[in-house]
Structure 1
Amino acid sequence: MATGSSWAWKPIARNVLFARAYHSCDVVQGKLLLFGGLKSGEPKEPPLGDMVAFDPTLLTAETVGPNGGDRRSHHDTAVLANRWLCVVGGWDGAHRVSAVCCWDTEQGQWERWAEGPSNDPPVGLSSHTCTKVSEHELRVVGREGGLRTQRRFASIYTLRVNPATKTYWYKEEESRTASRAGHSAMLLRDAGGYQLVVFGGRDSSDCEVAGRWGKGKIHVESIHAPKMTEQLSRLVGSENGSRQAPKGLRHQSCTVVGPFAVAFGGETLTKGRDTVCNDLYVYDTRCSPPSWFRFPCSDRGQKRVGHRTCLWNDKLYLVGGFGPDGKTPCPEICVLEIP
């Protein structure tokens, strides 16, 4: 267990199937679905292509989709209609891709969706973010380019998806953000509706807005987590906040919990050898302007990079990632405990 001044990660399950990094983790029909990622830090090792289901009630894990289809790491995902796990972009072992494929949980099989007639896709995507706006619209932000091509800015795309016709199409927005890779995106409520705020993924502490929507435009159910919200409120009430986001941090995890966003781990963009982090950050949007709170951890064993956090049934889960050396995957699932 990692101990901070007032929080801890408690391991609840251990399985070799969880030992991966730069994967995705989503809740679908009450189970955590892990897809893809890397088994080691070796640059020539191909990504995984398996789907693993973890039951947080029974604490059991099983492979529901074998390593036979598309392989992906550094991708992102969105859940549609609590049925389809939509995988967007990522690294396939040779190229950054922008294609969309979906895992149908009811049929237990992969579906390769087709490009729509007006599709204007990115060259390729990796270490990007994909945020669900509605059952038919996603917002994609981040690293775009071919194998050797890098942009000085990050494009913003609206990705339309249609499960009925199994089609998708990208549209590039006029606005852009600073170049980012391995950043986080937070869909947050504000006075006018919602805004998508991105941070990290570059050597700065700047936050940028990558989209704004009125209250009637967002069709995403907020997860009810009263216990976790109350615990986070107590936690930030004991510290003084800052207006600056974490500086020079990438490949951290970030999950929105009520009026808070909880970020953990990642790696710093410094030249030091010990770059993997284990700090907990809480972004409090209840005040104006919002404030960041940092809660350090003294346990080196809980350093994580390329991991995921996931909110379900009033608990925040930490899944996988590379450990302190930045190349050994952690075969654990933990829950956040705040006394």
Structure 2
Amino acid sequence: MTLPLICPRPPPTFGKEGGETPDSLAHLVHILSYREESCRSASRSGHSAALLPTPGPRPGHQLLLFGGCDSAEPDVAGFWGHGKIQEEAPAAPRLTEQLAKLVSSGQGSRQGPRGLRHHSCSVVGPFAVLFGGETLTRARDTICNDLYVYDTRRAPSLWFHFPCADRTLKRVGHRTCLCNDQLYLVGGFGEDGRTASPQVCTLDLFL
């Protein structure tokens, strides 16, 4: 019986810090890469991205970048004309209607999230909903519980800011998820920026 020849991988070589050197990683299979696009955005860190419809009778789609820099305005990282993207967005008719009433109620200010990072961002119909995060605009009390709504139904798109009085909802590094017409808030760190939150919350709008 002939045994198959087994060629073991040579042992890795280690650098000064104990990690593998680039030469020792040459055996790894090249399975993915990111290809740089021709467009550029402002330098951002801790930002979010959302694919949103463009206003008009023949809406297209735009990929917007929110937060992570001093500016409150999003960058357009990509644009696709009418019919170029076939999107199956989660149905949220009740929450979409509530957000439309909220931005029309006059309760919010026309203020965008300047200097905000590590927030959450979810798309609900024509709205981008940002919550929480860490602000770079003040030295103390930097963890936020503010709600920002970006309304793309008309051009130009508008920001609406709604502060929250409940300090227990201050979050950073968390996530929101749209499911069954509810916006869920999970994870992240609380007001001190160090204690992980075990809470699972849903967004309630009192109109």
Structure-1-length-normalised TM-score: 0.49
Identity %: 61
Aligned to 1:7: none
1:225-240 alignment, distance < 5 Å: 225-239=92-106
| 1:218 pairs with one of 85, 100, 113 | 85
Residue in structure 2 matching 1:250, options 111, 114, 117: 117
Shift of 1:245: 2.5
Residues paired across the two proteins, number = 176
Q: Which has the higher strand share?
A: 1
Name the structure 1 match of 2:153: 286
**Superposition pairs of residues 37-52 of structure 1, within 5 angstroms:** none
Report the Cα distance in structure 1 between the residues aligned to 2:102 and 2:81, rounded to whole angstroms.
31
Local SS of the residue matching 1:232: helix
What amino acid is the match of 1:228?
A: L
* Whole-angstrom distance in 2 between the partners of 1:277 and 1:169: 35
- Output the amino acid matched with 2:68: G
Letter matched to residue 211 of structure 1:
G
For 1:234, what is the secondary structure of its paired residue? Answer: helix
Cα drift, residue 241 of structure 1: 5.4
1:219 is displaced (CA, Å) by 3.3
- Cα distance, 1:271 vs structure 2: 4.5
Structure with the larger RCO, 1 or 2 (CA within 8 Å, 6+ apart):
1
Contact 1:205 1:247 in 2 (8 A): yes
Aligned to 1:334: 201
Q: More displaced, 226-235 or 182-191?
A: 182-191
Q: Which residue of 1 is the match for residue 16 of structure 2?
A: none
Report 1:1-339 matches (<5 A): 115-116=30-31, 168-190=32-54, 191=56, 192-239=59-106, 242=110, 245-339=112-206
Encode CA deviations 1:212-233: one digit per residue, 9 max, x unaligned: 1123332331111000011111
Secondary structure class of the residue paired with 1:294 = strand
Higher helix residue share: 2
Deviations 1:286-318 (A, max 9, x none): 122111111111111110000000000100000
Q: What is the RMSD of the two structures over their aligned residues, measured on CA atoms?
A: 1.9
Structure 1 runs (4+) greater than 3 angstroms displaced: none
Code of the aligned partner of 1:254: C
Say whether the 8 Å CA contact 1:199–1:245 is kept in structure 2. Answer: no
Greater C-alpha Rg: 2
**Cα separation, 2, equivalents of 1:213 and 1:290:** 17
Q: Which consecutive residues of structure 2, in runs of 5 or more, have no partner in the other structure? A: 1-18, 20-28
Where structure 1 has 5 or more consecutive residues not aligned to the other structure, the ranges are: 1-93, 95-113, 117-167
SS in structure 2 of the partner of residue 317 of structure 1? strand
